[in-house]
Amino acid sequence: MGVPVISCPGGTFASRDSFSHLSSVGLTETIARDFDEYVDLAVSLAGDIPRLAALRAGLRQRMAASPLCDGKRFARNLASRLRDVWEKWMRDQGQRLPSRCSGKDLAEISSLPTASAAPHGQVTFVGMAFPWGVAHAVARKR
């Protein structure tokens, strides 16, 4: 941390990922619209030592205050998107949807042992000899 980055979003994941991160920390002025602007930004930043120093000095604080470092928010948003995908899949399969988890259920699930990836979309919890489907983990807590 501490090195300003410029980006020119394009067809690659890396270029779009850097666009996303720079936007999240509020550094949209370092995002170029095309290759010519990218070169202009690089030359401009390299030639403006006070601006470069000011960017460097504030990067750590900007990053810490950004959504990128808000783990709880990220987890809530990810869980919500995963639930949406799962609900769509359930509806497409003609399955009945269980009711939403309460905050208490989610707190209990988050206190389960550490999970690791397992084949076929299952989650294996350290210290447990059997795999759990994610939906099963929620249903079992009820």
Kindly tell me if the per-residue pLDDT of 32 is higher than 70.
yes
Q: Are residues 65 and 85 in the same domain?
A: no
Establish if 8 belongs to a structural domain: no
Domain that holds residue 56: 13-69
Residue 128's pLDDT band (boundaries 50, 70, 90)?
Answer: very low
Mind giving me the DSSP string for the chain?
------B---SSHHHHHHHHHHHHTT-GGGB-SSHHHHHHHHHHHHH-HHHHHHHHHHHHHHHHHSGGG-HHHHHHHHHHHHHHHHHHHHHHTTPPPPPPPPHHHHHHHHTSPPEEE-GGGEEEETT-SSEEEHHHHHHHT-
pLDDT one-digit tens code per residue, 74-96: 888 888 899 889 888 888 888 87
Q: Are residues 25 and 53 in the same domain?
A: yes
Q: Are residues 108 and 93 in the same domain?
A: no
Q: Are residues 57 and 26 in the same domain?
A: yes
Q: Are residues 45 and 85 in the same domain?
A: no
Residue 127's pLDDT band (boundaries 50, 70, 90)?
Answer: very low
Give the number of domains in the chain: 3
Q: Are residues 78 and 65 in the same domain?
A: no
Global pTM? Answer: 0.53
